[in-house]
Amino acid sequence: MASSFRHAWRTDALAVTAALAIAWIVFDLAVWGYGEAPLEVARLLWGGTWGTAYGAGQVLFKATPLLLTGAAVEVGLRAGLFNIGAEGQLTVASLAVGVLAAHLGGVPAVLGVPVVLAAALAAGGAWAAVPAWLRVRFGAHEVVSTIMMNRIADALVAWLLASGLALRGSLRTADAVPGARLPRLDVLVPAFRGSAVSFALVVAALGAAGMAWAARRTRIGREIALVGGNARACEAERIPVRRRLAQAFILSGALAGLASAGTVLGYKGYFEVGLGAGAGFGGLAVALLGRSRLVGLVLAALFFGTLQQGGLAINAHVPREVMDVLEGVVILAVALADVRMRNSTPPAARETPPPRPPSSLCKEGGA
Amino acid sequence: MTVLECRGIAKRFDSVQAVAGASFEARPGRIHAVVGENGAGKSTLLKIAAGLLSADEGQVLLDDRELSPHTPREALRRGVAMVQQHFALVEAFTALENVVLGAEPKRSLGRLDVAKARDRVLGIARDLGADLPLDAPVSSLGVGDRQRVEIARALFRDADVIILDEPTSVLAPQEADALYLALRRLAERGRTIVVVTHKLDEVRAYADAVTAMRRGRIAYREEKTAGKDLDIEAAADAIMGDDKPPPVVRPARELGERVLSASKLILGRALAGIDLEVRQREIVGVAGVEGNGQRELVEVLAGLVHTDSGEVRLEGGVASVVHEDRHEQGLVLDASVRDNLVLGELGRFTHFGVLDAGRMEAVARERLERGGVRPPELDLTARALSGGNQQKVVLARAVSRRASLLVLAHPTRGVDLGAARVIHAQVLEAASEGAGVLVVSADLSELRTLCDRILVLRRGRFVATFEPTASDASIGAAMLGGQA
């Protein structure tokens, strides 16, 4: 698996630009295929998203969990782990948060909110601890185990809801107490009135920024990236490789779990089956497009949030599934651009240099 | 019966002229040795001869007819096969299956003709004078047998010209003898054998002709004539050219306390009772044919592997180690030079888990400058450095740890002369500052430059000790078990 050390700015900008250009072409073709005018539909898309305060608020609302799951996948990638399990980690955390938030009684928000957020982190982390353990103990590949864990999470959550955690006759938890809810952002910015964007956006921003800071400035964060780069060299230098892998995995799950703040606490106020579904997989797209940078993650979350909200805006003319297609196209294009860049690295900078006569080895290869 | 001829071959990799106008001829019935230092161009020249690489200039001729198109497939069709240093066998298949893979004799409807395949392979094994375990999976075979499977593969395809790249680097001495006996039989049956090697003892003992390369050119050429042996000294001089090894300058050092004492180390079949002592300010060299326990010894001293029995007593508890393969075990190539210079030491720069970037920077910069890394940029990725400078990073890190024991495995392998000098100077400096040093190397001149004494490792055991002034021949004899 490729490590996620940063490329040069220019390389990343090229890859992303190429991906967006391809997405634009596919968008044009799809819209044209439905007999609509691409520019007209694009105008509608803009109007339904960034064109109004409400639309912008909705985009931010959609981007909130994506930013956190994107950061979650990013933590895994840094360690060389491909955490496909953000989806399941988010599901389990959502249930835990929904149940806990309904049972906190009359706590004040200063106490209730931190408690439920901590629970979200803990539940997501705990669900990720299982594949983490399977990986470091038995070498079970995380892609396989996390996909399985996603299915188990779905089944487990449905079963728990059905066997007593849900309100009678429904598949949802009881309403969260006021002290555990995250208020809508329109209390600060009245223009957002009606949109679902909430203080979970602040939580997500802090979560992603905290991740980026820790990755650079803490020992664990830095060693996680080094382990992702070359575990054998780290082992030879006595870095606790397996512990760092497990920590990265659990941290990844915790961030994915935190995404439930945007859906359960900031939006519905309770958990129901299917709430937040897709945000975990969306995180994969955000992390791939985000190019291992905080700014990249934020922009990618906003971009995919825009696509999701935009799909609703153009649904009358073009099926909103076209936006899902675009999402896939962007991921594919970024992945392809990555491979392309890697192959066009000058040979001198690759791992095995060709045989060289001693006299000319001195010069600085590849720089 | 094929004559192989290379005419005026030139090959450039990026800005490096690997082969610069070399001509070479090999005739049937003889074992031709091609010798030279690392990077002299010998492997490149012969890969071109086998069609594996294209040449920028020059021609490859087989029986005076040009090899065209210049591909490995065409070369094989014309009877040229190359046995590479790294074998390309399917581990899960049997020896027989590997030999016939890709050239299977078929019955009607494309069914494999197992009986016919077996008959032919048995014949080939007889020619090789070898008892090949045909039905054993290759994963269960030792290196000697694997190599024979590779050679049998070439013979199964009716190769008349067989080129072997460093075939004995992984073999124990007795296996090397057996290999040359087999090659001799093949030569006597009219095949053309070309062996790329850097071991002059082998050339002396087995070759009918020697070609020495230096910096991409042919520096010396001689064929054996009746009653006169090859002039190996002349070949050796040609290989080294004007870069005669520098005079040994080892400042006198007073040996101090014992920093390492190991006794009766046993590890599987790799280490068979190692006794070893290293003292402060002492540099001890370990020579030996590759695969005689060097790698295992280093891993045991690094604490990565535990021995089955025996005792290692290490002053200060932890040795500072430079492993054999800097890409695999020395560097995180995509991380910065800064991160690599302090790899594994972040704990030193951390308060409550948070890094003190300033202190880390200062330590990394000091190491960068002391190690003479070029260019002196902490922000570059390790990947962007040349091989020699990558090794300087690894060495600077190891030396700066100030561990009481420094273990260096092949510290200058694949490194240019300039960087090698910087590295040697650092090793000598570390020793004069009080470290005990153990150097494992395949390069005897390196060991002579650095070491106070040279131990010879053979079959997992130290079999001899030499002064650094001992001759190549006597150390070589000990490495081979006395019959050089």
With bands split at pLDDT 50, 70 and 90, how would you rate the model's confidence at A200? very high
Inform me whether the pLDDT recorded for A361 exceeds 60: no
Summarize the confidence of residues A13-32 as an average pLDDT: 89
Inspect the interface and report whether the beta carbons of A361 and B216 lie closer than 8 Å: no
DSSP notation for A111-140: HHHHHHHHHHHHHHHHHHHHHHHHHHHH--
Long-range contacts of A96-100 (CB under 8 A, 24+ apart): A96/A120, A96/A122, A96/A123, A96/A257, A97/A123, A97/A260, A97/A261, A97/A264, A97/A265, A97/A271, A98/A172, A98/A173, A98/A176, A98/A260, A98/A264, A98/A270, A98/A271, A99/A165, A99/A173, A99/A271, A100/A180
* DSSP, res B241: T
Task: Give the highest mean pLDDT range of B290-299, B334-343, B440-449.
Answer: B334-343
Lowest mean pLDDT among A23-32, A276-285, B235-244: B235-244
The answer, yes or no, to whether residue B366 has pLDDT greater than 90, is: yes
Asked if B17 and A218 come within 8 Å (Cβ–Cβ), the reply is no
Say whether residue B21 is in contact with chain A using an 8 A CB cutoff. Answer: no
pLDDT number for residue A363: 33
> Which residues of chain B neighbour A362 with C-beta distances below 8 Å?
386, 388, 416, 418-419
pLDDT level of residue A1 (50, 70, 90 thresholds): very low
Of B214, B332, B360, which to mutate for an interface test with A (greatest number of A Cβ within 10 Å)?
Answer: B332
DSSP string across B177-208: HHHHHHHHHHHHTT-EEEEEES-HHHHHHH-S
Nearest one of B317, B132, B245, B332 to A239, comparing CA atoms? B332
pLDDT tens digits, B147-174: 888 888 888 888 999 999 888 766 766 6
Whether cis (ω within 30° of 0) applies to the bond prior to B375 is yes
**Residues B466-483: pLDDT tens digits?**
998 888 778 878 887 754
Q: Among A25-29, A31-35, A213-217, A333-337, which stretch is predicted with the lowest mean pLDDT? A: A333-337
Which among B302, B332, B357 has the least Cβ separation from residue A230?
B332
Q: Are B385 and A365 in contact, with CB atoms under 8 Å apart?
A: yes
Instruction: A346-355: list long-range contacts, CB under 8 Å, 24+ apart.
Output: A346/B14, A347/B13, A347/B14, A348/B14, A349/B383, A349/B384, A350/B383, A351/B327, A351/B333, A351/B383, A353/B386, A353/B387, A354/B13, A354/B14, A354/B16, A354/B18, A354/B44, A355/B13, A355/B18, A355/B38, A355/B39, A355/B41, A355/B43, A355/B44
User: Cα separation of A189 and B30, whole Å?
Assistant: 90
Label residue B262 by pLDDT band (50, 70, 90): very high
| Farthest CA pair distance, chain B | 78
C-alpha B321: how far from chain center: 19
Top-level CATH class of B258-480? alpha beta
B51 vs B45: CA distance, rounded Å: 10
Q: Which residues on A lie below 8 Å from B37 (Cβ)?
A: 358
Give the model's pLDDT for residue B143: 74
Q: Would an 8 Å CB–CB cutoff place A9 in contact with chain B?
A: no
Integer Rg of chain B from CA = 25
Q: What is the mean pLDDT of residues B89-113?
A: 86
Residue A362 or residue A126, greater confidence: A126
What pLDDT sits at residue B484? 37
Record: contact B332-A354, CB cut-off 8 A: no
Summarize the confidence of residues B264-275 as an average pLDDT.
92
> What token pair was written down for A186?
């329109």
Higher-confidence residue of A59 and B234: namely A59
Residue A359 at interface with chain B, using a CB cutoff of 8 Å: yes
* Distances from the Cα of A361 to the Cα of A365, B166, B215, B388, angstroms: 8, 22, 12, 7
> pLDDT grade, residue B228 (50/70/90)?
confident
Domain boundaries, chain A: 37-317
Start-to-end CA distance of chain B, whole Å, equals 31
- Test B333 with A230 for CB contact under 8 angstroms: yes
The per-residue pLDDT of chain A, averaged, comes to 88
How much is the average pLDDT of A94-107?
A: 93
Whether the CB of B84 is below 8 Å from some CB of chain A: the reply is: no
Mean local confidence (pLDDT), B206-220: 90
Q: Give, in degrees to the nearest 5, the angle at Cα A23 between A19 and A28.
A: 150
Q: Which of A5-9, A200-204, B154-158, B233-237 has the lowest mean pLDDT?
A: A5-9
Tokens, residue B358: 């300033």
For residue B14, which residues of chain A lie inside 8 Å, CB to CB? Answer: 346-348, 354, 365
The domain locations on chain B are 4-240, 258-480
Q: What's residue A211's pLDDT?
A: 96
Q: For the residues B250-258, what does the mean pLDDT come to?
A: 82
Would you say residue A350 has pLDDT above 50?
Answer: no
Is the model's pLDDT at B103 over the cut of 90? no
Distance in angstroms (rounded) separating the CA atoms of residues B211 and B41? 12
**A320 contacts chain B (CB < 8 A):** no
Mean pLDDT of B397-420: 85
CA angle B300, B416, B291 (to 5 degrees): 30
A329 pLDDT more than 50: yes
- Residues 259 to 298 of B: which have CB under 8 A from any A CB? none
The span from the CA of B263 to the CA of B16, in Å, is 47
In whole angstroms, give the CA distance from residue B218 to residue A253.
Answer: 62
Nearest to A236 among B329, B383, B389 (CB): B329
The whole-model pTM stands at: 0.76
Among the ranges given (B65-79, B170-184, B221-235, B269-283), the one the predictor scored with the smallest mean pLDDT = B170-184
Q: Which residues of A touch B302 (CB under 8 A)?
A: 236
Q: Quick count: other Cβ atoms within 10 Å of Cβ A191?
A: 13
Q: Decide: B6 and B60 in contact? Cβ < 8 Å.
A: yes
φ, ψ at A2 (rounded to 5°): -70, 140
CATH fold of the domain at B4-240: Rossmann fold (3.40.50)
> For residue B43, which of B154, B184, B197, B161 has the smallest C-alpha distance?
B197
Assign B107 to helix, strand or coil: coil
* Cα gap A297→A292, rounded to integer Å: 7
Here the tokens at position B219 are 């520096």
Note the pLDDT of residue B482.
Answer: 53
Whole-number Å distance between alpha carbons of A133 and A111: 32
- In one letter, which amino acid is A176? A
β-strands B309-314, B453-458 pairing: unpaired
Residue A252 vs residues A75, A132, A145, B161: alpha-carbon distances, Å: 6, 10, 15, 57
pLDDT at A181: 92
Same fold, B4-240 and B258-480: yes
pLDDT-based confidence at residue B249 (cuts at 50, 70, 90): low
pLDDT 10s digits, B111-153: 888 888 898 899 888 877 777 888 889 888 877 788 888 888 8
Which residues on chain A are in Cβ contact (under 8 Å) with B416? 356, 358-362
Choose among A203, A312, A299: nearest CA to A258: A203
The residue ranking higher by pLDDT, B15 or A210, is: A210
pLDDT exceeds cutoff 80 at B227: no
CA distance A331 to A70: 13
In chain A, the N- to C-terminal Cα span, in Å, equals 24
Q: Which chain A residues in 218-277 lie under 8 Å from chain B, judged by CB atoms?
A: 218-220, 222-223, 225-226, 229-230, 232-239
Contact A212, A67 (CB under 8 A): no
CB contact under 8 A, B18 and A355: yes
Question: If you average pLDDT over every residue of chain B, what do you get?
Answer: 87
User: What pLDDT sits at residue B247?
Assistant: 52
Assigned fold of A37-317: ABC transporter involved in vitamin B12 uptake, BtuC (1.10.3470)
pLDDT, tens digit, for every residue of B23-68? 999 999 999 999 887 667 888 899 999 999 999 999 999 999 999 8
Query: What tens digit of pLDDT does each residue of A233-243 get?
Result: 999 999 999 99
**Are the CB atoms for B71 and B150 separated by under 8 Å?**
no
| Contacting residues of A for B350, CB less than 8 Å apart | 218-219
Beta strands per DSSP E along B107-252: 161-165, 192-197, 209-214, 217-223
